[in-house]
Amino acid sequence: MFGPEQGHFALALACVLALVQFAVPLWGANRRDARLVGLAPYLAVSQLIALGYSFLCLIMCAVSDDFSVQNVAANSAVSKPLLYKITGVWGNHEGSVLLWTLILAVCGGAVSLFGRNLPDILRGRVLAILGGVSAGFQMFCLLTSDPFDRVFPAPMDGQGMNPLLQDPGLAFHPPILYTGYVGFAVPFAFAVAALIEGRVDAAWGRWVRPWAVAAWCFLTCGIALGSWWSYYVLGWGGYWFWDPVENASLIPWLTGTALVHSAIVVEKREGLKIWTVLLAIATFSFSLSGTFLVRSGILNSVHAFANDPARGVFILALLAIVIGGSLALFAWRAPSLTSTGLFSPISREGSLVLNNILLCSICAVVVTGTMYPPFMQLLAGRTISVGKPFFDAATIPLTLPLLLAMGVGTALPWKRAQLARTFSHLYAAAGIAAIGLVLCFWKLSGVLPIACGALAIWVIAASASDVLRRIGIGHTSAQGVWERMKHLPRSSWGAALAHIGAGITVLGLCGMSQAQHAIVEVHIGETRSLAGDDWTLLDVHDYIGPNYKAMQADIAIRHNGKLVTILHPEKRDFTTQSQTTTEVAIHTNFITDLYGVVGDRHGTGKDTTYVLRLHRNPLAPWMWLGGLVMAIGGAFSLSDRRMRIGAPKRAAARNMARA
């Protein structure tokens, strides 16, 4: 019922359905044949069902320890806990590609189900584009990385999973991150459909925005989760390494953030149309290229996937068709899209343009830094690496004006703003930011951290005061405030929350710039001090876990003689994979993380010493908390959009009933 052969067949069936989903509605839309176009949602849902079945089969193979399946034999083992047998399905190349296409099919299904208010032709074309991309990736799956490949004879037990991946955070990281990546396929499909149709208007902006916001929320969560994972699992004390794989997720996030903002201008002012279409294409193109670069082995990354240049050639061909095709269409059709209205620089739309310029500049910096080493090696034959100093030096100066504008932007009205009036709304926020600046001078060192910290406080204060002003705090009665709160659009709440989240993240980054650490070699009972705290190694003992041997240390931390906490970092040796992992111990009070790692044991008997790594990380949890707040803000504005999209239809229905 749920065997590998059924799964393989369902995958092939889904691929065929996706091809039909690509061809029929496009052809129907050209002939203006409503019946053919109307098939698109049914095809999309059937494709989703077939692919879901196929994915379920792969999960069942892993759960039932069917080691005749190559993928299960290579990545699972009888002794693996059930949760990791399931999540291990997408912890490898083949399974993750299948998950990737499944999420794409879910997006198609969602457009079919939630897109009933779209014009039929537009919906048909959007689904056709999604089907085409789906078909390409399913073919990639079937032809070069088949998750259902068999081995004969089947081994008695599997090879097990990389112990680093045996972690709940990482188990759910790929689905969330992929949903973010793949979710941008929907705005992409909308953009391509609009180019085919030759029309982009306010309605298009209103339709495309919720999809972009939804994908953006997932991508934000995915990046935050990935960064958190590298912080507490890898045990290096760092949270972002400007590694190509991390950049591959940051680049679409930056253009996606720009897209989410520029689509507002399309919706409200019918401006920035060509630009928004380009951003929609670019964001998905960057998502796709990120996947390609990581898996082809071109980029030298610590997060190594099994590299295979043959696969790389296939994906590159796929990219050439998807990205090349859409950009060629863009070059051909975009000049005919006309823009209306001129912008005054001091207005809401003006500030959104500034936001887009800055975000895209940061994106250009990250793309350059990521692509420079391989291209330098190709063209000049020299190996170089681009690291943190370049990225910090180039991105932070662009982030400063972005933060400054974030505070002002939401306070500006559309069309034309009066500066004096706008600034009168921002006095309170500016005052708080000034206090924040003093606080930053006192607590932080370095010009950039101080500037970033003060601006982050400015963003939080300005966003909060904007909402408070709109709901009439201070000049309306309690009753009136409540009424206004209810009527303030959810998108305003969402924008304020998302901006506050960004401020919190930046504060966390500023705090982390002041992190202190020490690597010490101590005997049992010895005390070392770090930034005002005394760290004492109390004891070290060995124990045996389910599939590893562990060495656990007890480290007491005292502040002015008072016990703060006892940390229990571990070092685990996984015997089957001959791999060692460190289990970091973290004590947090949400202001400061105390972070301990135990390393090697040296010597024997009385002379035994242990290497410990001690970190004091101020405001570390805020970085990920801010990401979560940003995503919640996005979800909030999403709940508003959905209602508003439905509104004209409901109004029409009401009118019909009345008539």
Partner 1 sequence: MNATRRGILTAVPIIGAGVLGVGFWRMLSDMRSGAFDPRAIKNPNVGKPIPSFAMPGLPGLGDGFTDAELKAQHRPVLVNFFASWCIPCVAEMPGLRAISRNMPIWGIAYEDKPENAAGFVQRDGSPYARVASDRHGRVAIDWGVTGVPESFLVAPGGRIIWHGSAALDPQIYEAEIRPRLAGL
Residue ranges binding partner 1 (CB under 8 A): 274, 278, 281-282, 285, 289, 292-293, 296-300, 309-310, 312-313, 316, 319-320, 323-324, 327-328, 330-331, 334-335, 371, 373-375, 377-378, 382-383, 578-579, 600, 602
Nearer residue to partner 1 within complex by CB, 13 or 278: 278
DSSP symbols for 367-436: HHHHHHHHHHHHHH-------HHHHHHHHHHHHHHHHHHHHHHTTSPSS---HHHHHHHHHHHHHHHHHH
The length of the chain is 659
Nearer residue to partner 1 within complex by CB, 153 or 381: 381
Q: 544 - beta bridge partners? A: 549
Nearer residue to partner 1 within complex by CB, 11 or 129: 129
Question: Whole-number minimum distance, CB 277 to partner 1, in Å?
Answer: 10
Helix (H, G, I), strand (E, B) or coil at 203: helix
Question: Whole-number minimum distance, CB 54 to partner 1, in Å?
Answer: 29
Question: Whole-number minimum distance, CB 29 to partner 1, in Å?
Answer: 23
The single residue listed with the structure tokens 């090696």 is: 377
Nearer residue to partner 1 within complex by CB, 113 or 384: 384
Q: 535 - beta bridge partners? A: 528, 557
Nearer residue to partner 1 within complex by CB, 191 or 221: 191
Question: Whole-number minimum distance, CB 374 to partner 1, in Å?
Answer: 6
Q: Which of 637, 630, 501, 644 is nearest to 218 (CA)?
A: 630
Nearer residue to partner 1 within complex by CB, 70 or 285: 285
- The answer, yes or no, to whether the previous bond of 244 is cis (omega within 30 of 0) is no
Q: How far apart are CA 38 and CA 46, in angstroms?
A: 14
Question: Whole-number minimum distance, CB 579 to partner 1, in Å?
Answer: 7
Question: Whole-number minimum distance, CB 273 to partner 1, in Å?
Answer: 12
Task: Check: CB of residue 182 under 8 Å from CB of residue 287.
Answer: yes
Q: How far apart are CA 655 and CA 647, in angstroms?
A: 12
Q: How far apart are CA 659 and CA 657, in angstroms?
A: 6
- Round to the nearest angstrom and report the end-to-end CA distance of the chain: 53
Question: Whole-number minimum distance, CB 333 to partner 1, in Å?
Answer: 9
Nearer residue to partner 1 within complex by CB, 63 or 316: 316
Q: How far apart are CA 285 and CA 281, in angstroms?
A: 6
Nearer residue to partner 1 within complex by CB, 196 or 444: 196
Residue 152 CB neighbour total at 10 angstroms: 6
Question: Whole-number minimum distance, CB 316 to partner 1, in Å?
Answer: 6
Helix (H, G, I), strand (E, B) or coil at 553: strand
Question: Whole-number minimum distance, CB 276 to partner 1, in Å?
Answer: 13
Question: Whole-number minimum distance, CB 422 to partner 1, in Å?
Answer: 30
Nearer residue to partner 1 within complex by CB, 310 or 656: 310
Q: CA 505: distance to chain centroid?
A: 14
Q: How far apart are CA 176 and CA 160, in angstroms?
A: 24
Question: Whole-number minimum distance, CB 319 to partner 1, in Å?
Answer: 7
Q: Which of 172, 181, 267 is nearest to 217 (CA)?
A: 181
Query: Which residues, at least 6 apart from 528, have a Cβ–Cβ distance to it below 8 Å?
Result: 518, 520, 522, 534, 535, 612, 614
Q: Where are the extended beta strands (E) located within 412-532?
A: 516-522, 527-530
3 state SS for 114-174: HCCCCCHHHHHHHHHHHHHHHHHHHHHHHHHCCCCCECCCCCCCCCCCCHHHCCHHHHHHH
Q: How far apart are CA 630 and CA 344, in angstroms?
A: 29
Q: Phi and psi at residue 245, in whole multiples of 5°?
A: -70, -35
Question: Whole-number minimum distance, CB 331 to partner 1, in Å?
Answer: 4
Nearer residue to partner 1 within complex by CB, 72 or 250: 250
Nearer residue to partner 1 within complex by CB, 310 or 420: 310
Nearer residue to partner 1 within complex by CB, 141 or 274: 274
Most distant pair of Cα atoms in the chain: their distance: 94
Nearer residue to partner 1 within complex by CB, 308 or 554: 308
Question: Whole-number minimum distance, CB 198 to partner 1, in Å?
Answer: 14
Q: Which of 46, 5, 42 is nearest to 25 (CA)?
A: 42
Nearer residue to partner 1 within complex by CB, 329 or 448: 329
Type of residue at 29: A
Nearer residue to partner 1 within complex by CB, 383 or 476: 383
Task: Check: CB of residue 562 under 8 Å from CB of residue 589.
Answer: no
Q: How far apart are CA 295 and CA 315, in angstroms?
A: 9
Nearer residue to partner 1 within complex by CB, 220 or 582: 582
Question: Whole-number minimum distance, CB 27 to partner 1, in Å?
Answer: 25
Q: Where are the extended beta strands (E) located within 140-296?
A: none
Helix (H, G, I), strand (E, B) or coil at 356: helix
Query: Which residues, at least 6 apart from 455, have a Cβ–Cβ distance to it below 8 Å?
Result: 400, 403, 404, 407, 433, 506
Question: Whole-number minimum distance, CB 239 to partner 1, in Å?
Answer: 24
Nearer residue to partner 1 within complex by CB, 382 or 486: 382
Question: Whole-number minimum distance, CB 538 to partner 1, in Å?
Answer: 26
Helix (H, G, I), strand (E, B) or coil at 441: helix
Reading the block at residue 155, the tokens are 């081994």
Question: Whole-number minimum distance, CB 379 to partner 1, in Å?
Answer: 8
